[in-house]
Amino acid sequence: MNKLIAGNWKMNCDRVSAQVLVADVVKGDIPGNVDVCFCPPFVYISDVVGDDFPKNIFFGGQDCSYYGENGAYTGDVSASMLKDLGCEYVILGHSERRQYHVESNNIISKKVEHAIKAGLKVIVCVGETEKERQEGLQNPVVIMQLKESIPEGVGGENLVIAYEPVWAIGTGKTATAQDVQEMHGVIRRYVQEKLDKPDLVRILYGGSVKPENAAELLQIENVDGALVGGASLKVDQFLAIIAAAK
């Protein structure tokens, strides 16, 4: 199973810089055994998707609509629209969506259902807040998120889980190797016990991943890749993280 390095651009770039960023990364030295996924803002997806990329280059959305079918949902973008644009993946339940758009596990679960039905692979984000970790609640919090955000029957290569401790996102703070190993072990056990085709489910780490810490994080047991925010906007940094996943 290839490791997956997914870049979450969040609400960044303009049309030209989006095209340049993808072109420059793809021109770089990308190992054939690492899957790379770019997740630009919706409006730039069709500017960056192309037919002539290597087979391990993918595109993804950063969210999709809670409502499955086309209809009167102003401002929404459906999973099938993402698929139509050439996306293979969609990030769901990112902590910024949970925080700023009040997305609950139940809402995320519905989105997962629609995305899988539309033929996308989902990257479902889970992770505890700083307060929850200080109180020692990280394991039950994450297990509850997994239980409520991932509908029954979902699994295999269609499912990617991203463990992103909220306090490590965009802060420069990274979880220690021991914290990451423990949590990925907890998630792997949940996947083995509860989900379909568990050996094909990848578990990513996210939270201030950068070239300096990527190699250490990516060699931890049960870390099958990384979800990268800030560093995915810098060609050299993103390529260095990709190289560390080889």
From the CB of 125, what's the least distance to ligand PEP, in Å? Answer: 7
Q: Is 93 in the site for ligand PEP (CB under 6 A)?
A: no
Q: Is 169 in the site for ligand PEP (CB under 6 A)?
A: yes
Catalytic site residue 157? no
Stretch that binds ligand PEP, among 23-31, 76-84, 105-113, 225-233 (CB under 6 A): 225-233
Q: Which is nearer to ligand PEP, 93 or 155 (CB)?
A: 93
Catalytic site residue 164? yes
Query: Using an 8 Å Cβ cutoff, are 177 and 168 in contact?
Result: no
Which of 94, 103, 114, 128 is catalytic? The answer is 94
> How many Cα atoms within 13 Å fall on the side-chain side of residue 153?
4
Query: Rule CB under 6 A: which of 8-37 touch ligand PEP?
Result: 8
SS3 196: strand
β-pairing, 202-206 vs 159-163, is parallel
From the CB of 232, what's the least distance to ligand PEP, in Å? Answer: 7
Stretch that binds ligand PEP, among 74-82, 146-154, 216-224, 226-234 (CB under 6 A): 226-234
Query: Using an 8 Å Cβ cutoff, are 222 and 203 in contact?
Result: yes
Give the residue carrying structure tokens 């139509």: 84
Q: Is 170 in the site for ligand PEP (CB under 6 A)?
A: yes
Q: Is 7 in the site for ligand PEP (CB under 6 A)?
A: no
Q: Is 207 in the site for ligand PEP (CB under 6 A)?
A: yes
Q: What is the dihedral of CA 9, 14, 15, 21, to 10 degrees?
A: -50
Q: Is 209 in the site for ligand PEP (CB under 6 A)?
A: yes
- Burial pattern 160-188, b for ≥16 Cβ within 10 A else e, equals bbbbbbbbbbeeeebbeeebbbbbbebbb
Cα 50 from chain centroid (whole Å):
21
Give the residue numbers annotated as catalytic, written as ranges: 94, 164
Residues that bind ligand PEP (CB under 6 A): 8, 164, 169-170, 206-209, 227-231
